Amino acid sequence: MLACRQLSKTYRTERGDVDAVVELDLEVEAGCYAAIIGRSGSGKSSLMAMIGGLSRPSGGTVTIDGTDIWRLGDDALARFRNGRIGFVFQFASLLPTLRLVDNVALPAMLGGARSSASTYDKASALLARMGLRDRVDAYPSEVSAGEQRRAAIARALINDPVLLLADEPTSDLDEQTEIEIMDELMGVNRELGTTLVLVTHNLALAEQAEQIVHIANGVLVA
Amino acid sequence: MRGLLANLALQNLGRRKARTLLLIAAVAVGSGALFAGATLMSSIERSMAVGFTRMGADLMVVPDGALTNITAALLTVEPTDLVLDADLVDKASLTSVGRSAPQKIARVEHSGIGSHHDSVDLIGFDPARDFTIQPWLVEKLNRGLQAGDVILGAGRDAPLGSQLLIFGKPHVVYGRLGRTGVGTHERGVFMASATLEALAGAIQGYGKPMPVLQPGKVTGFLIELAPGATSLQARFAILSTLQGVKVVSGDTTLSGIRQGLTSLLDGILVLMIVMLASTALMVSVLFSAIVTERRGELGLLKAIGARRAQVLGMMMVEAMLATGIGGALGVALGVLVMRLYERSLVYNLDRLGVPFVWDDLARTVAFAAGAVVLSVLVGALGVLYPAWRASRRDAYDLVRGEA
Same domain membership, residue B244 and residue B96 = yes
The pLDDT value recorded for residue B51 is 59
Question: Which residue out of A110, A139, A199 would a mutagenesis test of the B interface target, given it has the greatest number of B Cβ atoms within 10 Å?
Answer: A110
β-partners of residue B103 are B125, B220
Interface contact flag, A81 B14, Cβ < 8 Å: no
Same domain membership, residue B47 and residue B63 = no
β-partners of residue A8 are A59
Same domain membership, residue B348 and residue B276 = yes
- Cα angle, residue A188 at apex, residues A187 and A191 outer, rounded to 5°: 75
Same domain membership, residue B136 and residue B15 = no
**Which residue in chain A is spatially nearest to B302 when comparing CA positions?**
A78
| Rounded (10°) angle between helices A116-129 and A100-111 | 130
For residue A106, the domain's CATH number is 3.40.50.300
Same domain membership, residue B85 and residue B173 = yes
Last residue of a domain, which of B250, B273, B297?
B250
Q: Is B353's pLDDT higher than 60?
A: no
Pick from A201, A196, A215, A147: which is nearest to A171 by CA?
A201
Q: Is B72's pLDDT higher than 70?
A: no
pLDDT band, residue A86 (cuts 50/70/90): very high
- Residue B84: how many other CB atoms lie within 10 Å: 24
| Average predicted confidence (pLDDT) for chain B | 83
- Rounded to the nearest angstrom, the minimum Cα separation between A222 and chain B is 26
Q: Are B215 and B197 in contact (CB under 8 A)?
A: yes
The pLDDT value recorded for residue B50 is 60
Which tens digits make up the pLDDT trace of B308-343?
Answer: 888 888 888 888 989 999 999 999 999 998 888 878
The pLDDT value recorded for residue A51 is 95
Q: Is A36's pLDDT higher than 90?
A: yes
CA torsion, ordered A102, A107, A112, A114, to nearest 10 deg:
-70
Count of structural domains, chain A: 1
Last residue of a domain, which of B219, B250, B281?
B250
Q: Which residues of A touch B (CB under 8 A)?
A: 46, 49, 52-56, 74-75, 78-79, 81-83, 87, 89, 91, 93, 95-98, 102, 105-107, 109-112, 155, 159
Q: Is B202's pLDDT higher than 70?
A: yes
- Rounded to the nearest angstrom, the minimum Cα separation between A106 and chain B is 8
Instruction: Note down the domain range covering B284.
Output: 2-53+258-399
Residue B231 vs residues B85, B241, B248, B395: alpha-carbon distances, Å:
23, 15, 10, 69
Same domain membership, residue B95 and residue B17 = no
Same domain membership, residue B216 and residue B71 = yes
The more confidently predicted of residues B191 and A180 is: B191
C-alpha span between B55 and B110 (Å, rounded): 32
- Rounded to the nearest angstrom, the minimum Cα separation between A73 and chain B is 11
Q: Is B276's pLDDT higher than 80?
A: no
Instruction: Note down the domain range covering A30.
Output: 2-220
Q: DSSP 3-state assignment of A219?
A: strand
Residue B148, Ramachandran bin (φ over 0: left; ψ between -120 and 50: alpha; else beta): left
Q: Which of A143-152, A168-177, B332-341 has the lowest mean pLDDT?
A: A168-177
- Cα angle, residue A153 at apex, residues A152 and A159 outer, rounded to 5°: 100
Same domain membership, residue B126 and residue B8 = no
Amino acid identity of B399? V
Interface contact flag, A55 B306, Cβ < 8 Å: no
CA torsion, ordered B84, B90, B96, B99, to nearest 10 deg:
90
Which tens digits make up the pLDDT trace of A5-20?
Answer: 999 999 988 888 889 9
Which tens digits make up the pLDDT trace of B278-314?
Answer: 887 887 888 888 888 888 888 889 999 998 888 888 8
- Rounded to the nearest angstrom, the minimum Cα separation between B392 and chain A is 9
User: Chain-centre distance of CA B246, in angstroms?
Assistant: 32
User: Chain-centre distance of CA B236, in angstroms?
Assistant: 30
Count of structural domains, chain B: 2
| Residues of A whose CB is below 8 A from B303 | 52, 54, 81, 87, 89
Which tens digits make up the pLDDT trace of B91-135?
Answer: 888 888 888 999 998 888 877 777 767 788 899 999 999 888 888
Same domain membership, residue B70 and residue B40 = no
Residue B195 vs residues A13, B118, B157, B163, B227: alpha-carbon distances, Å:
88, 21, 20, 15, 33
Q: Is A145's pLDDT higher than 60?
A: yes
In sequence order, the 6+-apart residues with CB closer than 8 A to the CB of A30 are: A1, A162, A193, A195
Last residue of a domain, which of B250, B275, B296?
B250
Instruction: For residue B108, give the H/E element and its range.
Output: strand B97-108
Which tens digits make up the pLDDT trace of B249-271?
Answer: 865 555 566 566 666 777 777 88
Furthest CA-CA distance within chain A: 52
Question: Among B303, B310, B397, whose Cβ lies nearest the Cβ of A81?
Answer: B303
- Say how many CA atoms lie within 13 Å of B68 toward its Cβ: 25
